[in-house]
């Protein structure tokens, strides 16, 4: 899967947030995953994107952000593993199958 199709799906899911269920297109992932799960995942992605944009736009934090990530990974390498496992258990195998 290319990066363009992933971005296109993200835009499609953002549009789904504003669209009534009656008018939603027939996407393969909407057949197998509950719409509320798709909306939850989209809201999480939008929130993370907004936070990254906010950090980037403030000059004081934009310089320190890469250092914070490096420090976090060196001090607590298990943090990323815990984050990954928590996402793994939040979504079932069926949800992850139709993610793209």
Task: State CA 21 to chain mean position distance.
Answer: 21
Q: Report the predicted TM-score, pTM, of the whole model to 2 decimal places.
A: 0.62
Considering the chain, what percentage of its residues have pLDDT values greater than 90? 4
Instruction: For 7-72, give the DSSP string.
Output: HHHHHHHHHHHHS-GGG----HHHHHS-HHHHHHHHHHHHHHHHHHHHHHHSHHHHHHHHHHHHHH
Assess contact for 30 and 95: CB atoms under 8 A: no
pLDDT tens-digit map of 17-57: 999 888 888 888 888 888 888 888 888 888 878 887 888 88
């Amino acid at each position: 899967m290319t990066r363009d199709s992933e971005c296109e799906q993200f835009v499609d899911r953002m549009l789904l947030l504003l669209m009534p269920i009656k008018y939603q297109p027939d996407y393969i992932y909407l057949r197998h995953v509950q719409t509320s799960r798709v909306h939850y995942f989209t809201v999480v992605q939008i929130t993370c994107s907004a936070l990254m944009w906010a950090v980037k736009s403030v000059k004081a934090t934009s310089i320190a952000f890469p250092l914070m990530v490096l420090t976090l990974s060196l001090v607590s390498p298990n943090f990323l593993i815990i984050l990954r496992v928590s996402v793994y258990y939040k979504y079932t195998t069926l949800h992850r199958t139709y993610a793209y």
